[in-house]
């Protein structure tokens, strides 16, 4: 599944209809999957906690292993589905390889306050039927990590999403570094984020680097912690249209209750 894309004026992005294996339609008020734009190849040897989440056998979203049997991802990836429809792959850089481990989902939770990605609370947790024993997990950001959300903080987003807006998903795990954006800039770019502590932005004013379709649910990392979950945006890597992420510190209590 892809990061939710936003189309100015509220029109559906027709290109999203061509995402059979990777994503959600994106509109100005609806979230959908996103890929990594302007990034480089990454390895699960360096990021063992990043996982691919497939739906009925097709690439769907990214996720983050926060316990050996718990994957944090996005509610818009989970909505309308059951745990048994998901299979999670760990340690597989190349989606066409058979490397790594896999596990089916056994239980699925999404934030009950979730309505759409663009209105926040885009949090979900998938419990794995078979734990990924011995795999390093990533801690959640908490209320004591406010410094990680300061404008300009360097963060890294990872995923198997598109490498251009509307493009096909990536065969390989990709990563890109993007700075956290001030609340004022985020609110100027997207009115729906105003007053919503469950959302924040990251990216460059000039665009060029971003998460994209297919990256939805994947991790945004800073300071060795999961600070954000890929949620939605207006296209990918466009000037002054940053990626919007679910704020993990704000959602820590509801997420942790599922762990």
Question: What residues are labeled active site?
Answer: 76, 122, 216
Q: Are 100 and 91 in contact (CB under 8 A)?
A: yes
The strand pairing partners of 162, in sequence order, are: 169
């Amino acid at each position: 599944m892809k990061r939710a894309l936003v189309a100015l004026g509220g029109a559906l992005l027709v290109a999203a209809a061509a995402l059979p294996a990777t994503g959600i339609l994106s509109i100005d008020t609806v979230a959908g999957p996103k890929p990594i734009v302007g990034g480089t190849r990454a390895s699960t040897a360096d990021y063992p906690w990043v996982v691919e989440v497939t739906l009925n056998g097709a690439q769907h979203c990214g996720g983050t292993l926060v316990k050996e049997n718990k994957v944090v991802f996005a509610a818009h990836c989970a909505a309308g589905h059951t745990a048994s429809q998901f299979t999670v792959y760990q340690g597989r850089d190349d989606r066409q390889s058979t490397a790594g481990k896999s596990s089916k989902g056994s239980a699925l939770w999404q934030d009950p306050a979730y309505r759409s990605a663009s209105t926040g609370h885009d949090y979900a947790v998938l419990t794995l039927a078979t734990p990924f024993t011995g795999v390093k997990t990533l801690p959640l950001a908490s209320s004591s990590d406010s410094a990680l959300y300061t404008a300009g903080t360097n963060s890294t987003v990872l995923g198997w999403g598109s490498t251009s807006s509307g493009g096909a998903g990536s065969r390989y795990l990709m990563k890109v570094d993007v700075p956290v954006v001030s609340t004022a800039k985020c609110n100027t770019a997207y009115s729906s984020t105003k007053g919503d502590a469950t959302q924040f932005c990251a990216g460059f004013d000039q665009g060029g680097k971003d998460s994209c379709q297919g990256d939805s649910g994947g991790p945004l990392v800073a300071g060795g912690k999961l600070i954000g979950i890929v949620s939605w945006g207006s296209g990918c890597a466009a000037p002054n249209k940053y990626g919007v992420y679910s704020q993990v510190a704000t959602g820590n209590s509801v997420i942790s209750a599922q762990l």
